Amino acid sequence: MKKIRNSSTTTTTGGGGATTAMRVIVPLQGVVQGRGGLFLGSVIPCALFYFLQLYLKGRGGRKSGEPPAPPESSPSETHLREVSTLQRVHSRLLLSPRGTSGPAQVSSRANAIAKQADGTYCVGLKRAADDPYDEMNNPDGVIQLGLAENRLSLDMVQEWLADNTRESIISQDLSISGIAAYQSFDGLMELKVVVAEFMSQVIEKPQFFNPAQIVLTAGATPAIEILSFCLADPGNAFLVPSPYNPDLDRDVKWRAGVEIVPVPCRSADNFSLSTTALDRAFNQAKKRGLKVRGMIISNPSNPVGVLYNREMLYSLLDFATEKNIHIISNEVFAGSTHGSEEFVSMAEIIDTEDYDRGRVHIIYGLSKDISLPGYGIGVIYTFNENVLSAAKKLARFSPVSAPTQRLLVSMLSHTKFIQRFIKINRERVRRMYILFAGGLKLLGIECIKSNGGFYCWADMSSLIRSYSEKGELELWENLLNVAKVNATPGSSCHCVEPGWFRLCFSTLREKDIPVVIERIRKISETCISRS
C-alpha cells in the first residue's frame, strides 16, 4: 500500500502532471498487481509514464505548459556550488536525484518546483544581472531587455526620497510605536485612500476607486496568488490569452495549484483576443475534465502591449456571465499608456453597465507605474464582498511592512509631485517607445503597434533559421551570447507563433538604444546570410 503511494508522488513532474499521472498509474497498478505483485505494479506504470513524458516532450513541449530547458546550468546548481564552498557546511549529498531514499522527502509540490529547470526567462535575467552592460566599465556586458521594470523615472523618485524620507518615517506626531506595532494585514487605511486616488490619477479619468474594496499586498505577485486561491480550487483552471507574462505560470500554479488554459492569439489579428477563441478554449478545457473558474487578462497586455477597448471588455463580461466565471483584470501597466488610444479600466465598465460585480477583480501595483520595484505594493481591487473578506485575511501571508507604507502614504499624498511624475514619466515612456520601435524598424523588425507597457512585441521571425520553437531558441541564444542582449522569447510567453520576442526598453537610457540596435543588426546579418 505504502509503496504505491510513494511511487505515485515521486514520479510527478509538474503541477498539471500530477493528476494525469495519478489517472494513468492507479488503474495500471491495479492491472499489473494481479499478476506481477507490488513491485511490478509500481515499476511498470512508472516506466510507462516516464516514456510517455519523453514522447510528449519530443513532440514539442510547448503544449505541456512548461518552459523549455535552458541551454545552461540552472541557477539552482550554481547556487549549490556557492553554498558548498563555505566552511563547516553539511557535507551530505546535495541533490539526491528523486529523494526517495536517504534524506527526508520534501513535498511533491516542492519537488516539482525544484526540478523545474529555470526557463529561458529566468536564465536570461540572471545572465544580464551577472554581466550587466555599463557604458564605461563594461561595454561588452549584457544589455537587459528582459525586465519590465521602469527605470526611466527613478531620478524623480530618488529626489523625492532624498528630501522626504526621514520625516515620513519618524515624525513628531508619529512615534515608532505607530509604525512598529501590529496593524491590520491588508494595509493602512490611509495608504488605501491615497492608492485609490492614485489609481484614478494614473488613468487620467475621474474614475472612483473605493478604498474599502482594496487589499494591499507585498507586490502584484501575491495579489494574483491570493485571488487564485480564492476563486479556484486546486486542479481547476483559468483561461489566459496567450502570449502571456511568464510569471503567471508561477503565480497561479505553484501553490494555488490552478491550471492555465491558454487562449491563443495570433499576429493576423494583431494578437487581439476573440470570443470565438475563448469559447473554443473553454470547451476544450471542459473536454479534458478541467473546470474553468475564471479568466485573467492583462490590460495593457503583457507582453504585447495593446489595450482592450470597450467593446472587447463588454464581450468578455458577457462571456463570463454566460459561463458564470470570474474575470481578473491585471491593470498594473495602466499608468504606462503612451499611445493615442484610450485606456478603459474594468472599473469603468462595471460602473456604467449592469453586470454582476461579484465576478470582477482588478489587480494593480505600484512597481510598474511609479518606478518602485523594490518597494513592491500590490493591490487587489474586488467588487465581491466574500472575496474581499477572504483576501483581507490571506494578506497576512504577504503584508507590506509598516515603514514602507508610511513612506508611500507620504509620497502619494504629495499631489504636486505625483502629478508632475505621472506627466513626465508618461512622456519618457512614449519617447523611448518611439525611438526603440523606430530603431527596430530600421532593421526590418516590425513590432505590434503598442499603446501601453514599456516593451515592444517584435517579430524577429525573419532572423530565425527554422520557423519553429527550436529556431526561436537558437535566436534567443544568439542574442544572449553573441549580441549580448537579453530578450524574452515568445515561447516562454506561450506564444503559438515562433519568432516573436518581448523587448523591454524601460531599463535603457536613450543613448543605449543605438548600441542595442547595432548589436542586433550585427547578428541579423549573420542570420540572414546563413539562411
Partner 1 sequence: MAIEIEKPAVGLSKVAVSDTHGEYSPYFAGWKAYDENPYDELWNSSGVIQMGLAENQVSFDLLEQYLEKHSEATNWGNRTSGFRDNALFQDYHGLQSFRKAMASFMEQIRGGRAKFNPDRIVITAGATAANELLTFILADPGDALLIPTPYYPGFDRDLRWRTGVKIVPVHCDSSNNFEITPQALDAAYNEAESHNIKVKGVLITNPSNPLGATIKRSTLEEILEFVTRKNIHLVSDEIYSGSTFSGEEFVSVAEVLEARDYKESDRVHIVYSLSKDLGLPGFRVGTIYSYNDKVVTTARRMSSFTLISSQTQQLLASMLSDRTFTENYIKTNRERLKKRHQMIIDGLKNSGIECLKGNAGLFCWMNLSPLLEEPTKESELTLWKSMLHEVKLNISPGSSCHCSDPGWFRVCFANMSEQTLQVALTRIHNFMDRRKAMKSSPDFSSY
Q: Is 396 in the site for partner 1 (CB under 8 A)?
A: yes
Under rule CB under 8 A, residue 110 binds partner 1: yes
Question: Could you say which of 62, 127, 359, 502 contacts partner 1 (CB under 8 A)?
Answer: 359
Q: Which of 181, 287, 340, 442 binds partner 1 (CB under 8 A)?
A: 181
Interface residues for partner 1 in 136-165 (CB under 8 A)?
147, 149, 151, 154, 157-163, 165
Site mask for partner 1 (CB under 8 A), range 430-449, x = bound: --------------------
Per CB under 8 A, does 25 bind partner 1?
A: no
Per CB under 8 A, the list member of 26, 47, 56, 114 interacting with partner 1 is: 114
SS3 annotation, 190-257: HHHHHHHHHHHHHCCCCCCCCHHHEEEECCHHHHHHHHHHHHCCCCCEEEEEECCCCHHHHHHHCCCC
Contact of 151 with 98, CB cutoff 8 Å? no
Question: What single DSSP character describes residue 372?
Answer: -
Q: 334, 343 in Cβ contact below 8 A? A: yes
CB of 223 to partner 1, least distance (A): 10
- Contacting partner 1 (CB under 8 A), which of 31, 56, 94, 528? 94
Give, as one character, the DSSP assignment of residue 303.
Answer: T
The set of cell numbers assigned to 96 is 539526491
Residue 109 is a binding residue for partner 1 (CB under 8 A): yes
State the binding string over 298-327 for partner 1 (x if CB under 8 A, else -).
--------------------------xxx-
Per CB under 8 A, which of residues 225..244 are in contact with partner 1? Answer: 225, 229-234, 236
Of positions 317, 402, 487, 493, contacts partner 1 by CB under 8 A = 402
Task: Work out whether 252 is an interface residue with partner 1 (CB under 8 A).
Answer: no
Binding status of residue 374 toward partner 1 by CB under 8 A: yes
Question: Does residue 412 interact with partner 1 by CB under 8 A?
Answer: no
Q: Is 35 in the site for partner 1 (CB under 8 A)?
A: no
Query: In the complex, what is the shortest distance from the CB of residue 297 to partner 1, in angstroms, rounded to a whole number?
Result: 17
- How far is Cα 238 from Cα 244, in angstroms, rounded to an integer? 13
Task: Give min distance, CB of 441 to partner 1, in A.
Answer: 28
Where residue 439 falls (left for φ over 0; alpha for ψ -120 to 50; beta otherwise) is alpha
Give CA–CA dist 498/474, Å, rounded. Answer: 11
- List, in order, residues 6 or more apart from 196 with CB less than 8 Å away: 209, 210, 211, 214
Residue of 497, 503, 97, 511 lying closest to 267 (CA atoms): 497
Nearer residue to partner 1 within complex by CB, 174 or 482: 174
Of 36, 65, 211, 399, which lies in the binding site for partner 1, with binding defined by CB under 8 A? 399
Using CB under 8 A as the criterion, what x/- string covers residues 64-93 for binding partner 1? ------------x--xx-xx--x-xxxxx-
Regarding 183 and contact with partner 1 (CB under 8 A), the answer is: yes
When asked if residue 97 is in the footprint of partner 1 (CB under 8 A), the reply is no
**Residue 387 in contact with partner 1, rule: CB under 8 A:** yes
Closer of 329 and 461 to partner 1 (Cβ) = 329
Nearer to partner 1, 454 or 500 (CB): 454
Q: Encode 66-93 in three state secondary structure.
A: CCCCCCCCCHHHHHHHHHHCCCCCCCCC
Residue among 175 and 466 whose Cβ is closer to partner 1:
175
C-alpha Rg value of the chain to the nearest Å:
24
Please tell me the distance from the alpha carbon of residue 363 to that of residue 370, in angstroms, as a whole number: 15
β-partners of residue 264 are 242
Q: How far is CA 234 from CA 244, 251, 258, 287, 293, in A?
A: 21, 13, 5, 18, 11
The Cα–Cα gap between 118 and 198 comes to 36
* Residues binding partner 1: number (CB under 8 A): 98
From candidates 29, 120, 201, 221, binder to partner 1 by CB under 8 A: 221
Binding residues among 497-516 for partner 1 as defined by CB under 8 A = none
Name the residue nearer to partner 1 (CB basis): 392 or 426.
392
| Residue found under cell 470565438 | 276
Q: At what angle do helices 2-10 and 15-58 cross, to 10 degrees?
A: 60
Nearest approach, Cβ of 392 to partner 1 (angstroms)? 10
218 part of the interface to partner 1, by CB under 8 A: yes
Task: List the interface residues with partner 1, window 185-204 (CB under 8 A).
Answer: none
Among 129, 189, 434, 482, binds partner 1 (CB under 8 A): 129
Rounded Cα gap, residues 469 and 193, in angstroms:
47
- Nearest to 429, CA basis, from 516, 514, 334, 309: 334
Of the pair 42, 236, the CB lying nearest partner 1 is at 236
